[in-house]
């Protein structure tokens, strides 16, 4: 399997300082927020790589850097071997750009209400002067809508149908990679099932590769070939779904999985996770999870753990052995 997307030491820092005059008057230092910090992973062709993590963990920021909507502060993203933020050959950049599309969370906000569905779907192709004859109609049928819908406006569709229109638009330029940022979070379960099935079918049919961003672990477990768990902008664990869900290694992954509600968890009473996600502007030293981690010791508060390979997974934790033992104690295999 060849690698389609390669993310290396990706870092993004936002300047969230107050305007300089306020800073001068109030004697405030510059405030920098590290949204993504030293993240590396690969996505092989025709695979689904999922990023999970709680709000603010940097999922969308990584997604935007992968499609080239945002430049990295450090590190790089290569798609088909091309680094979009540094490549100078315009033709190469254009070629790779058209191989990448993005689908967003909110199917209501991401469609222009004044355009007909036909024009919305064909826009990425029309913008490049391509042939759009019958294109929208064909794509609409491919995503399970009717060719007749091409003449309608977005407000005439339900949430799930609008997300199908977004998917049709993403498919128009025949991309290889689709970055999906919470594609079903705004939909309820029955509609979500339709959209996820459609995405799986299209992947098989067109050989698509997905970077799939979600905070819903059940969705990710269903869709992903590989899952990256983010905490405060850092990749803390990477594993395939079976491994992650049967043997989460990082204490944060373990906490997430234990806290997620289970459909067979009738009357389940587990002590809920303690603590809050720390302030990303002043993250804790060492391992960012240490203030909430039941296993943290001195080294966790001082040294940032590197990702290391263990049994088919990559885990960044100083206390892997203890964490694995702790998990075996709660859930014997």
Partner 1 sequence: MSDPVLSVRDLVVEIPTRNAVLRPVDHVSYDIEPGEILGVVGESGAGKSMTGNAVIGLLDRPAAIAGGEIRLKGQRIDNLPYEDMRRLRGKEIGMVFQDPLTSLNPLLQIGDQLTETMLAHLEITETEARTRAIAALDEVGIPAAASRIDSYPHEFSGGMRQRVVIALALCAEPSLIIADEPTTALDVSVQAQIIALLKRLCRERRTAVMLVTHDMGVIAEAADRVAVMYAGRLAELGPVRDVVQSPRHPYTEGLMGSTPLASRGQHRLRQIPGSMPRLGSLPDGCAFHPRCPKAQDRCRANPTPSLDADQGRAACWFPVEQLEDAQ
Site residues (CB under 8 A) for partner 1?
Answer: 54-55, 158-161, 187-194, 196-197, 200-201, 215, 217-219, 221-222, 255-256, 259-273, 276-277
Task: Please identify, among the stretches 57-65, 81-89, 191-199, 286-294, the one whose residues bind ligand ATP according to the rule CB under 6 A.
Answer: 57-65
- Measured in degrees and rounded to the nearest 5, phi and psi for residue 178 equal -120, 125
Q: How far apart are CA 17 and CA 30, in angstroms?
A: 5
308-310 vs 313-315, strand pairing mode: antiparallel
Question: How many chain residues interact with ligand ATP (CB under 6 A)?
Answer: 14
Q: Are the C-beta atoms of 150 and 117 separated by less than 8 Å?
A: yes
Q: In the complex with ligand ATP, which residue's Cβ is closer, 82 or 191?
A: 191
Nearest one of 188, 301, 234, 184 to 54, comparing CA atoms = 234
CA-to-CA dists, residue 211 to 80, 125, 274, 298, angstroms: 14, 22, 30, 36
Q: CB under 5 to 8 A by kind: which of partner 1, Mg ion, ligand ATP, none does 108 bind? A: none
Q: In the complex with Mg ion, which residue's Cβ is closer, 122 or 229?
A: 229
Q: In the complex with partner 1, which residue's Cβ is closer, 158 or 308?
A: 158
234-239 vs 226-231, strand pairing mode: antiparallel
- By CB under 6 A, is residue 280 in contact with ligand ATP? yes
Starting at the edge strand found earlier in the chain, the sheet holding 209-213 runs 100-103, 177-181, 209-213, 48-52, 226-231, 234-239, 313-315, 308-310
Q: CB under 5 to 8 A by kind: which of Mg ion, partner 1, ligand ATP, none does 73 bind? A: none
Q: CB under 5 to 8 A by kind: which of Mg ion, partner 1, ligand ATP, none does 270 bind? A: partner 1
- Element holding 77 (H helix, E strand): strand 74-79
Binders of ligand ATP among residues 24 to 43 (CB under 6 A) are 33, 35
- By CB under 6 A, is residue 58 in contact with ligand ATP? yes
Helix (H, G, I), strand (E, B) or coil at 235: strand
- Measured in degrees and rounded to the nearest 5, phi and psi for residue 39 equal -100, 130
177-181 vs 209-213, strand pairing mode: parallel
Q: In the complex with Mg ion, which residue's Cβ is closer, 122 or 195?
A: 195
Q: At what angle do helices 135-142 and 159-172 cross, to 10 degrees?
A: 130
Q: How far is the CB of 270 from partner 1 (least distance, A)?
A: 8
Binders of ligand ATP among residues 259 to 278 (CB under 6 A) are none
- By CB under 6 A, is residue 55 in contact with ligand ATP? yes
Q: In the complex with Mg ion, which residue's Cβ is closer, 25 or 189?
A: 189
Q: In the complex with ligand ATP, which residue's Cβ is closer, 171 or 227?
A: 227
DSSP states of 3-19 as a string? Answer: EEEEEEEEEEEEE-PPP
Q: In this chain, which of 34, 57, 60, 254 binds Mg ion, going by CB under 5 A?
A: 60
Q: Compute CA 150 distance to the chain's CA centroid, rounded to the nearest angstrom.
A: 30
Q: In this chain, which of 11, 37, 47, 60 binds ligand ATP, going by CB under 6 A?
A: 60
Q: In the complex with Mg ion, which residue's Cβ is closer, 215 or 222?
A: 215
Q: In the complex with ligand ATP, which residue's Cβ is closer, 44 or 68?
A: 68
Question: How many chain residues interact with Mg ion (CB under 5 A)?
Answer: 1
Residues making contact with Mg ion (CB under 5 A): 60
Residues that bind ligand ATP (CB under 6 A): 14, 16, 33, 35, 53, 55-61, 215, 280
């Amino acid at each position: 399997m060849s690698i389609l997307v390669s993310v290396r030491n990706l870092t993004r820092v936002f300047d969230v300082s107050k305007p300089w005059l306020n800073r001068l008057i109030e004697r405030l230092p510059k405030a920098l927020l590290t949204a993504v910090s030293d993240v590396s992973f690969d996505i092989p062709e025709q695979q689904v790589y999922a990023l999970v993590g709680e709000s603010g963990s940097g999922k969308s920021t990584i997604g935007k850097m992968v499609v080239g909507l945002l430049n990295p502060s450090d590190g790089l993203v290569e798609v088909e071997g091309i680094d979009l933020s540094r490549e100078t050959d315009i033709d190469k950049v254009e070629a790779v750009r058209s191989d990448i599309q993005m689908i967003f969370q909110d199917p209501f906000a991401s469609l222009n209400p004044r355009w007909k569905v036909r024009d919305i779907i064909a826009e990425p192709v029309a913008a490049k002067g391509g042939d759009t004859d019958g294109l929208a109609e064909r794509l609409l049928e491919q995503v399970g809508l009717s060719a007749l819908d091409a003449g309608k406006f977005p407000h005439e569709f339900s949430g799930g149908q609008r997300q199908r229109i977004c998917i049709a638009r993403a498919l128009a330029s025949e991309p290889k990679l689709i970055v999906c940022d919470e594609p079903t979070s705004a939909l309820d379960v029955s509609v979500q099932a339709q959209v996820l099935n459609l995405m799986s079918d299209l992947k098989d049919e067109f050989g698509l590769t997905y970077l799939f961003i979600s905070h819903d672990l059940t969705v990710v477990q269903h869709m992903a070939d590989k899952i990256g768990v983010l905490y405060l902008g850092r990749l803390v664990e990477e594993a395939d779904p079976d491994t992650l869900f049967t043997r989460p290694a990082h204490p944060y992954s373990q906490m997430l999985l234990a806290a997620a509600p289970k459909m067979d968890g009738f009357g389940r009473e587990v002590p809920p996770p303690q603590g809050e996600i720390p302030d990303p502007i002043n993250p804790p030293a060492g391992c960012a999870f240490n203030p909430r981690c039941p296993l943290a010791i001195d080294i966790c508060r001082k040294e940032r753990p590197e990702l290391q390979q263990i049994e088919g997974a990559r885990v960044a934790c100083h206390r892997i052995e203890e964490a694995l033992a702790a998990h075996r104690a709660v859930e014997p295999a």
